[in-house]
Amino acid sequence: MSTFSIKQGDYHRQLALDLSDITTTGASSVVIRMRSRDGGSIINPTGTIASASRINVTFTGTQLDTAGVFLLEAALQYVDGPETVPTSGYVTVVVEAKLG
């Protein structure tokens, strides 16, 4: 789907997921899941529904303290069940190491 690059420990910027084939209309919430491309524990950044075609992801705490490549997906919660986006593949999050 897309790639989001950020420096290790930088928390100011949000990741915006623009949805092309799914609408957030009718969704009550969104759950974000992210893990290292190599496996490991799931990280749950905060997700908010910004509009009918956009989800915002906010990273906090220590979620961006480890450099590496991560896979991210969002699950929109509807009355009849969840819908995972992207529907194929993942959003790639690249956390680059700082020089100092």
Taking the alpha carbons at both ends of the chain, their separation in whole angstroms is 31
The total number of structural domains in the chain stands at 1
Model confidence at 1: pLDDT above 80: no
Q: Could you tell me the CA-to-CA distances from 12 to 8, 61, 67 in Å, in that order?
A: 12, 12, 17
Query: pLDDT tens digit string along 29-70?
Result: 999 999 999 999 999 999 999 999 999 999 998 999 999 999
State the residue range of the domain holding 55: 3-96
The residue to which tokens 């899941």 are assigned = 33
Whole-model pTM: value is 0.91
- Domain CATH code at residue 29: 2.60.40.1220
If you ran DSSP here, which 8-state letter would residue 43 be given? B
